[in-house]
Structure formats: structure tokens, C-alpha cells
Amino acid sequence: MKYVSVLTIAGSDSCGGAGIQADIKTMSALGCYAASAITSITVQNTLGVTAIQAISPDIVAGQIRAVMDDICPKAVKIGMVNDADTIRAIAATLKEYNIGHVITDPVMISTSGTRLMQDDALDVFRTELLPMSTLLTPNVPEAEVLSGMAISGKPSMDNAAMAMLRDGCRALLIKGGHIAGRKTDRLYHAACSGMTSREYVCDDVPTANTHGTGCTLSSAIAAFLALGLTLDEAVGRAKDYVTQALLYGADVETGRGHGPVNHFFDPKKLVKI
């Protein structure tokens, strides 16, 4: 008997609302055992990011290998990766293992507007990580960068999705929070006919506590996949989890800027298999 485990590969957030910290909180709250490989250390709080220190690619690869050789997680979530060499190291290491699900959140720009991925890393990200991903979870600005297209509504989002699927991505969840109106995320699958899509719609939660929502969503999807749900089911359950985490943390002050969501509004016991 063992716990259902998930590995997060991401940067560390010193204020605990995003990155590795949010990933571990999310996976734990949903009943999964969370392991981690830290790609970078950020100096940040709820007001913004002021510095980033990348971890040596060899050390990042070593962390991944140590977890994979021993704990054998059922799913992997990849978050903030700052530079091209680290992306190459992550891709090369993961290719050594038979991994059920790889969820990649292309963290490129922080909520406060800080660029988190170096310019020369983008092409490597497209060629190395994108094709190995079960699911890519960009927000609208990230999808614009990856597709090279402006997105203002559903038709342009569909076009951008098609471009990214042609680059080798198997499935894609474009988060529509940057578009006015009800919050609509669209899940796209590569198909013989081109692509299929499904919408997930939710009402906006009035709160400033939105720090780490992208990290939380992608980690929740990875956790639900590890627990045996289909991709469509995992996305739906993850969306519900983030909405509830926003609601339960809406009126709590943590810092003077964008505070975190409430990851532990309904924590589960670790699931054993």
C-alpha cells in the first residue's frame, strides 16, 4: 500500500501563495502526496517579484531523478522554468521515465508583471516541453506569446489553440480570465479532424486574493489525474476547487497586495492505493 503521489517541478515563492508552495498545498489538500523539484528561488511577496535565482540544471535534474527513482509519482506538474538549460535538463530527465501525465503551466509573467522566463528559453520550451505535455495550461497573455497571435475572444482563441496543437501539444486549456465577461476556460484536444473543444464557465469571485491561482489550477488537475479521473473530469474538478478556494479566501488579508487563495477550505486525507 502506498500514497497517490505527484511531483511538482517549479520555482519557490517566499510568501507561500504560488509556485512550489501553492503546488504542495493544493496536492496535499486533494489527498495526494506531494514531492518537489525546485527550479528557482524567487524573492517575492504579495506585492510582487523583486529577484530570481535559478537553480543549477544538474541539481534540478538530480531532484527529479531522486523522486522518480524512489517515489514513482503518477503525475508531474511543471511550473516556472526560468532558462533554456533548465528546460533541456527537465525534458531529458523526464524522458528516462514512463510518466502517466505531465501537466505544464507555462509561467512566463507574474501577476505583478515581472517577466519570469528568459527570452532564449521560449523556443526550447516549444520544442522540448510542449510535445511531452499531456496538457498545457496558459492564460491569455501566455497563449498569445506561444501562438504568436492576439486573443480577444473565442474565434481568436480557437485560432491560437490550433497553432499550439500543431506545435505538438496533445491538449490545451486556455484560461480566459483576462477577457471581459464571465470567466470561460476552453479545453482543446488534438483530433484527426483538427481539434475538439469544451468550455468551463464560472462566475467571477470579487477578491484581490488571486495570487497563485494558475499554479493552484494546474496542480489540482495533476492531482485529479493521479487520482484516476479523465482529463475532462480533472479540469472540471480542478476549476471547482479553485473557485471554492477563492471564495473561502476572499475576505482574508495576507499581506498588502494580491493574497493567496484558501487551499485548505476542505482538506482530504491522503489517498492510499
> How many other C-beta atoms can be found within 10 angstroms of the C-beta atom of residue 23?
30
Mean pLDDT check: name the lowest of 35-39, 83-87, 165-169, 242-246.
165-169
Q: How confident is the model at residue 182 (pLDDT cuts 50, 70, 90)?
A: low
Would residue 255 count as lying in a domain?
A: no
Would residue 62 count as lying in a domain?
A: yes
Residue range(s) defining the domain that contains residue 123 = 5-248
Would residue 100 count as lying in a domain?
A: yes
Q: How far apart are CA 237 and CA 217, in angstroms?
A: 10
Mean pLDDT check: name the lowest of 28-37, 156-165, 236-245.
156-165
Q: What is the 3-state secondary structure (H, E, C) of 82-99?
A: CCHHHHHHHHHHHCCCCC
User: What CATH number did the domain enclosing 21 receive?
Assistant: 3.40.1190.20
Q: Which residues are catalytic?
A: 175, 210, 212-215
Would residue 202 count as lying in a domain?
A: yes
Mean pLDDT, residues 148-172: 90
Would residue 264 count as lying in a domain?
A: no
Question: Which residues lie across from 109 on neighbouring strands?
Answer: 115
Q: What is the pLDDT of residue 195?
A: 84
Alpha helices in 95-203 (DSSP H): 121-124, 140-147, 154-166
Q: What is the pTM of this model?
A: 0.95
Would residue 273 count as lying in a domain?
A: no
Count of structural domains within the chain: 1
Would residue 165 count as lying in a domain?
A: yes
Q: How confident is the model at residue 199 (pLDDT cuts 50, 70, 90)?
A: very high
Q: How far apart are CA 26 and CA 223, in angstroms?
A: 8
Q: How confident is the model at residue 180 (pLDDT cuts 50, 70, 90)?
A: low
For residue 62, what is the enclosing H or E element? helix 57-70
Would residue 86 count as lying in a domain?
A: yes
